[in-house]
């Protein structure tokens, strides 16, 4: 029965939209409660998304997972392999194609067609960062093939029946099979929950499908985002750039932001060509961070869906490291992708007065793998954050995950699970760039092996050698470093830690905002009293080192 | 407690809330209930309470000597944390970890808000001191404690005027030896400083959360001491013999000594009263599975009660920078009645959001400027304005007529700020405000349930708070709940709930180990100690040992998971066989909650827990309706979407409804501090305690949505 398009008034729409997002949240909660990995449960590195039958994003989970900003094209690509009419209830498809999802093989996505009363009404996509995906730990891959197991689009559930071959292949190819297979099953359960809840939602509200509601959501979001962009960014063309360390030579990110009437086109022409080592960032991942940045600036409160991101287009020349060709190695994409926002913010630093962020110190991703004293394999990932940049009107935050959001690993949890001892985890005084608003401080993190078996460890950062820049006259934060037993070592390369070896991570601080001379003397005095700024640095950068007026402050 | 047959004795419940301090006085033999409400005295809470008590006693001619029991809940600890009015506090940590508090979990609670603020630590960085020592994850000493460093720390602490010190060393929950040694040495050098040990306050894994809890304990300790000393002194002066008992965040009472040692356990004690009242009144009505729903002026709160027991948690957040953003506050690991707070109340402001949709809350007009209908300067429309316009509230009977509401101002505000910008009729706009705030609360309640694997449809909704009974019917419908319980005295119910609280104390200790490797002897030792420590505090409050109940739990998970599930231990000593039964209980509970298992993954023990509980007080509640008045006060036009218009709706006087009486919706039932609204098709009856028990019609289709073709 064909009906006319339903029109939702602002009250119905508010209620229906929120309830729809709730169906996605329900999936996210089921994942976090059942995952086997600390990277998911503590680090929250996963996501749940709902797409329409054409593969357009309709809703994303709200503040459960950290992958909320994700714009996956997996559904659209999978539909090319599995046409919609070939899919049945209970089917689920898996892939970890870095060119479709989040840019490296560790992210596995499970996609499930969702049916209501026999009709395909949408797709669920649940994805998470796996604690391991196999591949080389001892050397630096030069092709994606060396980076781990590639999962082509395949049905891991066929009308509800688990594909035993897939799980056998998966378990045989990863270092912690139980953990990875457990997490894949957590994603499967997440998709199933979303399907069940969506069907309840449709029945309850007497909707046959999501077509009309989806079109309304997209149109409203797109219109609002356009207005917000037009208000935030004056029409014009803006250029900004930044560099990342790369392996042998630095890589340049050149951003050209063209704003016109509420539409923004971001192009990365002029950025460095793709690297032969795994620092490449697939277009999907470049797009994630470019659109994320625009949303932060223009409309941080808008829900995530296709319409919200529609006014923003992102392009990068094929063959550049921000849009590499298959089979480029991509494992360390955060080491490049996390700097995409910086180039864009640099471009807009003077155009957008109210909401701005100086360069952040980013974070170390530390992978550790080996065998414990009972000879059981372990493989896990943790994050160690640098400072977050000073804002337009506020100091930066110390040791805060930006742009990707995740949490630190509690020292007690880490030492409970892995044969390491943390010797120190402390803020780095003077690492926050001086300014009217000071950049956040970075940290020093020292890790010692207490294992008789070697630990294979890889610490990736991306930009240790160049200090995070200040904006509008603010000074740069302190650069970072990586040291093994006191000697500098390059990041991103695998290291082998024997018992007693100490790895020291120095994570950069963040840039300041506006000239230091404008800083409130009491704010500076407080920083000095608390040891975040030394007297010498205060004299050098601010021209004076005031005392606290009120000791109780 | 001695009770004379001739002389009536009284139990007194006192609940200090944000705006009002509620008092109830219960005659323990007849169950006659007297209540008082006074404005909270912020300049001196103790003086305010004492005055309120004196007034209530005088008004009812009750002598202080007849009050044999006092249970008190106070916001003092919460307010001290929010307003940063605690004592100057220092923290001692393991060398290398000075920035434990500053660094927190290194995560943003809102990923798109680059301007976000985070809570400032209670201890500034310059008052955090490091001591050389180190334990490993098993509690073994890998670096000896350098006790000689304490003298220097004591000097610095004294020089800074610090009154309270928290000590949180890594892995101390495994082995408190170093913390105890530091405390002993510090006490020797600086005996006037109060000391809180993390291994005592909350011996749980995760150093940031443990430190945060210990610091909060230290921070409020001196303030709490001064308050309780003055209050107890004042009560003694008033000739009140009953021991002052404090209600804890886990809805158990503790005596003053325990409250002074663990003041952090008193944070958020007020809301526990509502949960207690719900479980107590529910049990009397034969209802043991409830969702307690409290809606006041600024916020709504939801708590799940299963089998008569309010849902518990071992962690919550206080002093949030963004009141409703999880992660924006200070984490406290204490046993607490699990409860969510939602930015939805009578004062929640309605308007158009950036998407052109109707948004209600979390911004609130609060008491000042207040809803437009108060006529106190508020111009933006609120939930109360919509409720008034729709006829749910009576302009002439708000707070029993003490405050006159202005319906004209309400409709003007709705017209200007909602109807016009959204292109809606006035009535549709007003209904929209009511419906959207209901849906916000229902969704939050649903998320709360689903986070713990519960289905709201299995529960009865228990409605209280000033605005709760107006909205409960619709919230229930949105949750798929069909039965709603409306207690009498919804306005002072927390204070009544306090009187139903048993004396209880819970202790826990983290002890991480694969379940099949757990050593029964070690486990028995830990459990015995936890039971002994809890029991001691309960017995010290006057509970005879024979009347103590002991609940022992193990928190278990599949190895690798972060979240553990509490499972009750089989009775008796821990043995290999009982551990096997524990394993099976966990598997069953896990499957019931998540509908799946992790085959091949070993089960891991995370912590032990022991709670010792005294007997539940037996309260008598006098039946209502003793005076025969005309229950039906008249009719007024009230809007119901089922009718699509305002209908002539009967209005009843709550206190005149007699037990056994029956009603059919639509109906409005008024008492001075709240109003019950029941919709068309709802049937209701009055039970022996005067509760209004409503049954909603079976749901079909969509309630509250009006979808144009």
**CB proximity under 8 Å: B 231-290 to A:** none
- Which one of B438, B562, B597 makes the best mutation probe of the A interface by having the most chain A beta carbons within 10 Å? B562
Contacts of A44 in chain B (CB under 8 A): 107
3-state secondary structure of B527: helix
How high does pLDDT run on average in chain B?
90
pLDDT given for residue A43 in this prediction: 64
Q: Are B676 and B652 in contact (CB under 8 A)?
A: no
**CB proximity under 8 Å: B 489-528 to A:** 512
Which is nearest to A299 in space by CA: A336, A264, A343? A264
Q: Which of A330, A355, A380 is the last residue of a domain?
A: A355
Is the pLDDT reported for residue B345 higher than 50?
yes
The residue-averaged pLDDT of A311-325 equals 97
Contacts of B126 in chain A (CB under 8 A): 529-531
Residue in A with minimal Cα distance to B359: A14
Q: Which of A207-211, A549-553, B28-32 has the highest mean pLDDT?
A: A207-211
**Which domain range does residue A251 map to?**
233-355
Is the pLDDT reported for residue B327 higher than 50?
yes
Chain A closest CA to B505's CA: distance in Å?
Answer: 26
Considering the domain architecture, whether residues A202 and A267 belong to the same structural domain is answered as no
Q: Is residue A307 part of a domain?
A: yes
Per-residue confidence band for B526, with pLDDT thresholds at 50, 70 and 90: very high
B105 touches chain A (CB under 8 A): yes
Contacts of A400 in chain B (CB under 8 A): 106-108, 118
Is the pLDDT reported for residue B27 higher than 60?
yes
- Interface size, chain A vs chain B, as Cβ–Cβ contacts under 8 Å: 236
Q: Which of A334, A355, A376 is the last residue of a domain?
A: A355
pLDDT, tens digit (0-9, with 9 covering 90-100), for B199-253? 999 999 999 999 999 999 999 999 999 999 999 999 999 999 988 999 999 999 9
Contact B115 A407 (CB under 8 A): no
Considering the domain architecture, whether residues A369 and A504 belong to the same structural domain is answered as yes
Residue in B with minimal Cα distance to A406: B107
pLDDT, tens digit (0-9, with 9 covering 90-100), for A223-241? 999 999 999 999 999 999 9
Q: Which of A15, A206, A530 sits opposite B701 (nearest CB)?
A: A206
Is the pLDDT reported for residue B700 higher than 80?
no
pLDDT given for residue B628 in this prediction: 39
Chain A closest CA to B186's CA: distance in Å?
Answer: 22
The residue-averaged pLDDT of A288-294 equals 93
Return phi, psi of residue B216, to 5°. -60, -40
B110 touches chain A (CB under 8 A): yes
pLDDT, tens digit (0-9, with 9 covering 90-100), for B619-640? 887 776 554 345 788 999 999 9
Task: Give A418: exposed, middle or buried? Use CB within 10 Å, 0-12, 13-18, 19+.
Answer: buried
Angstrom CA distances, A232 to A355, B111, B353, stand at: 9, 19, 17
pLDDT given for residue B599 in this prediction: 62
Task: Give B8: exposed, middle or buried? Use CB within 10 Å, 0-12, 13-18, 19+.
Answer: middle
Per-residue confidence band for B61, with pLDDT thresholds at 50, 70 and 90: very high
Contacts of B447 in chain A (CB under 8 A): 22, 25, 29
- The pTM assigned to this predicted structure is 0.92
pLDDT, tens digit (0-9, with 9 covering 90-100), for A517-534? 999 999 999 999 999 999
Is the pLDDT reported for residue B706 higher than 70?
no
Angstrom CA distances, B180 to B156, B173, B372, stand at: 20, 12, 57
pLDDT given for residue B709 in this prediction: 23
Task: Give A152: exposed, middle or buried? Use CB within 10 Å, 0-12, 13-18, 19+.
Answer: exposed
pLDDT given for residue A397 in this prediction: 97
Considering the domain architecture, whether residues A428 and A495 belong to the same structural domain is answered as yes
Q: Is residue A146 part of a domain?
A: yes
Contacts of A424 in chain B (CB under 8 A): 96-97
Contact B562 A42 (CB under 8 A): yes
- In this prediction the ipTM stands at 0.92
Chain A closest CA to B206's CA: distance in Å?
Answer: 6
pLDDT given for residue B597 in this prediction: 64
Dihedral (C-alpha) B522, B527, B529, B535: value to the nearest 10 degrees?
Answer: -170
| DSSP one-letter string for B66-88 | GEEEEEEE-SHHHHHHHHT-S--
- Which one of A2, A13, A216, A412 makes the best mutation probe of the B interface by having the most chain B beta carbons within 10 Å? A412
What is the spatial distance between Cα B669 and Cα B44, in angstroms, rounded to a whole number? 37
Contacts of B420 in chain A (CB under 8 A): none
| DSSP one-letter string for A143-188 | SGGGGS----SEEEEETTEE-HHHHHHHHHHSSSHHHHHHHHHHHH
pLDDT given for residue A417 in this prediction: 86
Is the pLDDT reported for residue A378 higher than 90?
no
HSE value, Cβ hemisphere, 13 Å, CA-based, for B233: 8
Contact B432 A11 (CB under 8 A): yes
Is the pLDDT reported for residue B704 higher than 70?
no
pLDDT given for residue B624 in this prediction: 64
Chain B closest CA to A276's CA: distance in Å?
Answer: 32
Considering the domain architecture, whether residues A284 and A370 belong to the same structural domain is answered as no
Considering the domain architecture, whether residues A241 and A197 belong to the same structural domain is answered as no
Considering the domain architecture, whether residues A90 and A129 belong to the same structural domain is answered as yes
pLDDT given for residue B708 in this prediction: 28
What is the spatial distance between Cα B291 and Cα B485, in angstroms, rounded to a whole number? 10
Is the pLDDT reported for residue B142 higher than 90?
yes
Task: Enter the DSSP assignment of B396.
Answer: T
Is the pLDDT reported for residue B702 higher than 60?
no
Considering the domain architecture, whether residues A113 and A203 belong to the same structural domain is answered as yes
Chain B closest CA to A417's CA: distance in Å?
Answer: 8
B354 touches chain A (CB under 8 A): yes
Contact A411 B97 (CB under 8 A): yes
Q: Which of A155, A175, A209 is the last residue of a domain?
A: A209
Considering the domain architecture, whether residues A41 and A128 belong to the same structural domain is answered as yes
pLDDT given for residue B463 in this prediction: 96
Contact A408 B562 (CB under 8 A): no
Considering the domain architecture, whether residues A344 and A444 belong to the same structural domain is answered as no
- Which one of B560, B592, B698 makes the best mutation probe of the A interface by having the most chain A beta carbons within 10 Å? B560
Q: Which of A405, A408, A425 sits opposite B96 (nearest CB)?
A: A425
The residue-averaged pLDDT of B576-600 equals 82
Contacts of B604 in chain A (CB under 8 A): none
The residue-averaged pLDDT of B357-373 equals 88
Q: Are A243 and A463 in contact (CB under 8 A)?
A: yes
Q: Name the more confident of B551 and A26.
A: B551
The residue-averaged pLDDT of B399-424 equals 92
Residue in A with minimal Cα distance to B129: A530
Is the pLDDT reported for residue A71 higher than 70?
no
Considering the domain architecture, whether residues A32 and A164 belong to the same structural domain is answered as yes
* Superfamily in which the B10-80+226-266 domain is placed by CATH: ATPase, nucleotide binding domain (3.30.420.40)
Q: Taking the alpha carbons of B480, B483, B489, B495 in that order, is the dihedral positive or negative?
A: negative
The total of structural domains in chain A comes to 3
Q: Is residue A1 part of a domain?
A: no
The residue-averaged pLDDT of B71-99 equals 93
Is the pLDDT reported for residue B320 higher than 90?
no
**CB proximity under 8 Å: B 568-597 to A:** 594-596
Contact A41 B98 (CB under 8 A): no
Contact B440 A13 (CB under 8 A): no
Contact A426 B701 (CB under 8 A): no
Q: Are B421 and B352 in contact (CB under 8 A)?
A: yes
pLDDT, tens digit (0-9, with 9 covering 90-100), for A106-123? 999 999 999 999 999 999
How high does pLDDT run on average in chain A?
92
Residue in B with minimal Cα distance to A425: B97
pLDDT given for residue B367 in this prediction: 72
pLDDT, tens digit (0-9, with 9 covering 90-100), for B265-315? 999 887 889 999 999 999 999 999 999 999 988 889 999 999 999 988 888
The residue-averaged pLDDT of A57-85 equals 78
Per-residue confidence band for A1, with pLDDT thresholds at 50, 70 and 90: very low
Which is nearest to B601 in space by CA: A177, A127, A163? A177
Considering the domain architecture, whether residues A273 and A404 belong to the same structural domain is answered as no
Q: Which of A52-66, A368-382, B328-342, B442-456 has the highest mean pLDDT?
A: B328-342
3-state secondary structure B142-186: EECCCHHHHHHHHHHHHHCCCCEEEEECCCCCCCCHHHHHHHHHH
Q: Is residue A239 part of a domain?
A: yes
Contact B106 A355 (CB under 8 A): no
A145-154, A542-551, B132-141, B214-223: which range is least confident on average? A542-551
Dihedral (C-alpha) B87, B93, B99, B102: value to the nearest 10 degrees?
Answer: -30
Q: Is residue A462 part of a domain?
A: yes
Per-residue confidence band for A38, with pLDDT thresholds at 50, 70 and 90: low
Considering the domain architecture, whether residues A54 and A196 belong to the same structural domain is answered as yes
CATH: 3.30.1490, 1.10.10, 3.50.50, 3.40.50. Which one for B504-613?
3.30.1490
Percentage of residues of chain A with pLDDT beyond 90: 79
pLDDT given for residue B286 in this prediction: 95
Contact B137 A68 (CB under 8 A): no
């Amino acid at each position: 029965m064909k009906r006319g398009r339903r029109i939702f008034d602002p009250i119905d729409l508010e209620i229906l939209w929120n309830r729809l997002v709730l169906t996605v949240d329900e999936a996210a909660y089921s994942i976090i409660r059942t995952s086997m990995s600390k990277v998911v449960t503590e680090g929250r590195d996963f996501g749940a998304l709902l797409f329409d039958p054409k593969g357009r994003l309709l809703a994303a989970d709200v503040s459960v997972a950290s992958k909320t900003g994700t714009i996956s094209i997996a559904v659209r690509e999978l539909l090319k392999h599995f046409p919609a009419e070939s899919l049945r209830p209970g089917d689920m498809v898996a892939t970890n194609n870095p060119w479709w999802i989040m840019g490296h093989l560790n992210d596995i996505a499970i996609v499930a067609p969702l049916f209501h009363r026999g009709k395909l009404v949408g797709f669920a996509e649940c994805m998470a960062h796996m604690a391991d995906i196999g591949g080389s730990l001892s050397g630096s891959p030069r092709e994606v093939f060396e980076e781990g197991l590639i999962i082509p689009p395949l049905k891991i559930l066929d009308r509800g029946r688990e594909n035993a071959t897939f799980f056998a292949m998966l378990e045989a190819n990863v270092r912690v099979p139980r953990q990875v297979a457990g997490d894949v099953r957590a994603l499967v359960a997440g998709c199933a929950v979303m399907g069940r809840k969506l069907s309840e939602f449709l029945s309850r509200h007497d909707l046959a499908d999501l077509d009309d509601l989806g079109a309304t959501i997209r149109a409203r979001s797109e219109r609002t985002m356009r207005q917000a962009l037009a208000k935030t960014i004056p029409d014009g063309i803006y250029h900004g750039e930044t560099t990342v360390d790369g392996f042998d030579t630095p890589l340049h990110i050149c951003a050209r932001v063209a704003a016109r009437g509420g539409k923004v086109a971001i192009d990365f022409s002029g950025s460095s060509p793709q690297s032969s080592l795994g620092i490449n960032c697939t277009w999907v991942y470049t797009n994630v961070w470019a659109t994320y940045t625009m949303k932060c600036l223009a409309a941080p409160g808008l829900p995530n869906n296709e319409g919200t991101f529609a006014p923003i287009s992102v392009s990068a020349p094929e063959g550049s490291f921000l849009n590499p060709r298959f089979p480029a190695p991509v494992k360390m994409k955060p080491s490049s992708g996390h700097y995409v926002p910086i180039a864009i913010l640099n471009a807009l630093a003077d155009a957008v007065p109210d909401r701005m962020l100086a360069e952040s110190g980013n974070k170390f991703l530390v992978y550790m793998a080996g065998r414990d004293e009972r000879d059981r394999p372990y493989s896990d990932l943790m994050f160690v954050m640098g400072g977050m940049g000073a804002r337009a009107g506020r100091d930066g935050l110390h040791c805060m995950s930006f742009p990707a959001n995740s949490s630190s690993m509690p020292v007690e949890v880490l030492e409970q699970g892995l044969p390491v001892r943390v010797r120190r985890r402390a803020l780095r005084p003077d690492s926050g760039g001086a300014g009217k608003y000071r950049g956040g401080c970075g940290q020093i993190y020292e890790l010692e092996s207490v294992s008789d078996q070697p630990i294979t460890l890889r610490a990736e950062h991306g930009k240790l050698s160049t200090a995070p820049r200040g904006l509008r006259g603010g000074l740069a934060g302190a650069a970072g470093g990586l040291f093994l037993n006191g000697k500098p070592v390059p990041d991103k390369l695998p290291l082998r830690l024997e018992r007693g070896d100490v790895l020291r991570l120095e994570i950069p601080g963040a840039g300041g905002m506006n000239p230091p001379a404008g800083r409130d003397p009491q704010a500076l005095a407080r920083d000095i009293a608390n040891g975040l700024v030394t007297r010498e640095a205060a004299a050098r950068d601010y021209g004076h080192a005031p005392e606290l007026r009120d000791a109780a402050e | 407690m001695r009770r004379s047959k001739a002389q009536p004795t009284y139990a007194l419940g006192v609940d200090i809330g944000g705006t009002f301090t509620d008092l109830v006085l219960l005659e323990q033999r007849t169950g006659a209930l007297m209540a008082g409400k006074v404005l909270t005295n912020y300049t001196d809470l103790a003086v305010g309470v004492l005055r309120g008590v004196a007034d209530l006693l005088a008004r009812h001619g009750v002598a202080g000597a007849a009050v044999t029991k006092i249970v008190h809940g106070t916001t003092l600890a919460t307010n001290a944390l929010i307003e940063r009015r605690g004592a100057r506090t220092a923290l001692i940590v393991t060398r290398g970890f000075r920035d434990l508090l500053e660094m927190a979990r290194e995560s943003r609670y809102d990923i798109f808000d680059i301007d976000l603020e985070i809570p400032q630590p209670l201890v500034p960085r310059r008052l955090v001191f490091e001591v050389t020592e180190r334990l490993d994850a098993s509690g073994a000493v890998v670096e000896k404690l350098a006790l000689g460093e304490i003298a220097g720390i004591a000097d610095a602490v004294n020089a800074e005027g610090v009154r309270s010190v928290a000590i949180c060393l890594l892995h101390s929950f495994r082995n408190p030896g170093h913390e105890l040694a530091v405390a002993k040495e510090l006490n020797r050098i600086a005996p006037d400083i109060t000391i809180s040990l993390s291994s005592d306050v909350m011996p749980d894994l995760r150093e940031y959360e443990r430190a945060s809890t210990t610091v909060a304990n230290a921070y409020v300790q001196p303030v709490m001491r001064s308050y309780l000393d003055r209050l107890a002194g004042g009560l003694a002066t008033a000739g009140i013999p009953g021991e002052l008992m404090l209600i804890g965040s886990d809805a158990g009472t503790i005596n003053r000594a325990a409250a002074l040692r663990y003041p952090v356990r008193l944070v958020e004690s007020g809301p526990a009263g509502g949960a207690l009242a719900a479980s107590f009144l529910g049990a009397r009505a034969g209802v043991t599975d409830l969702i307690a729903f409290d809606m006041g002026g600024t916020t709504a709160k939801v708590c799940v009660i299963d089998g008569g027991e309010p849902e518990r948690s071992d962690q919550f957040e206080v002093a949030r920078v963004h009141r409703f953003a999880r992660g924006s506050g200070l984490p406290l690991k204490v046993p607490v009645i699990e409860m969510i707070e939602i930015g939805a109340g009578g004062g929640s402001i309605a308007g158009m959001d950036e998407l052109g949709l109707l948004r209600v809350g979390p911004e609130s007009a609060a008491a000042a400027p207040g809803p437009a209908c108060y006529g106190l300067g508020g111009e933006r429309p609120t939930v109360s304005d919509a409720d008034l316009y729709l006829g749910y509230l009576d302009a002439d009977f708000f707070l029993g007529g003490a405050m006159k509401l202005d319906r004209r101002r309400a409709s003007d505000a709705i017209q200007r700020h909602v109807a016009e910008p959204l292109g809606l009729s006035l009535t549709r706009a007003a209904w929209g405000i009511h419906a959207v705030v209901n849906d916000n609360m229902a969704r939050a309640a649903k998320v709360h349930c689903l986070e713990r694997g519960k289905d709201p449809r299995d529960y009865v909704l228990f409605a209280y708070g000033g605005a709760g009974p107006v909205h409960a019917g619709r919230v229930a419908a949105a949750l798929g709940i069909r039965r709603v319980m409306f207690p009498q005295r919804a306005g002072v119910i927390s204070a009544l709930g306090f009187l139903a609280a048993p004396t209880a104390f819970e202790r826990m200790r983290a002890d991480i180990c694969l379940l099949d490797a757990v050593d029964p002897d070690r486990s028995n030792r830990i459990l015995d100690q936890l039971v002994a420590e809890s029991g001691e505090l309960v017995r010290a409050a006057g509970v005879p040992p024979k009347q103590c109940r002991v609940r022992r739990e193990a928190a278990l998970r599949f190895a690798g998971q972060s979240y553990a599930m509490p499972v009750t231990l089989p009775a008796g000593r821990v043995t290999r066989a009982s551990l096997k039964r524990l394993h099976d209980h966990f598997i069953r509970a896990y499957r019931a909650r998540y509908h799946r298992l992790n085959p091949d993954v070993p089960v891991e023990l995370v912590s032990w827990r022991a709670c010792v509980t005294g007997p539940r007080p037996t309260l008598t509640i006098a039946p209502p309706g003793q005076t025969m008045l005309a229950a039906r006060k008249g009719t007024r036009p009230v809007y119901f979407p089922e009718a699509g218009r305002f209908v002539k709706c009967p209005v009843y006087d709550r206190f005149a409804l007699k037990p056994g009486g029956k009603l059919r919706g639509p109906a409005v039932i008024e008492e001075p501090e709240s109003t019950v609204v029941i919709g068309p098709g709802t049937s209701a009856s009055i039970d022996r305690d005067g509760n209004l028990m409503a049954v909603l019609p079976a749901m079909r289709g969509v309630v509250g949505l009006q979808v144009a073709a």
